[in-house]
Amino acid sequence: MRFAPEDDGSGNLKLDAVTADVDFSINASSTDATTTALGLTEGTNHNSTSLLDNIGSSGTTLTIAVNGGANQQITFGTGAGQVSTR
């Protein structure tokens, strides 16, 4: 499961993403009574707040060196060996 559902203390359903790179929305064709009872807003996009979403396109690289060590290259993307940007 990519969400941790819980009660927000007011009887509303609270959905917290397990990781920062999860986008979701409540379908606008959902049953109004159900979404209202759960405290959800239909048709609202809840986009990831991951800093990596703004790092650039897949394949973007960052080169760093720590404490005088050798350069290390970090590649962002969704492929094997890349740091997730999704």
pLDDT at 2 over 90: no
Between 44 and 53, whose confidence is greater?
44
Q: Work out the pLDDT band at 49, boundaries 50, 70, 90.
A: low
Q: Which of 83, 67, 86 is nearest to 75 (CA)?
A: 83
Average pLDDT over residues 50-64: 72
Q: Write down the domain spans for the chain.
A: 1-49, 52-86
pLDDT at 52 over 60: no
Q: Report d(CA 40, CA 61) in Å as an integer.
A: 38
Single pTM value for the model: 0.39
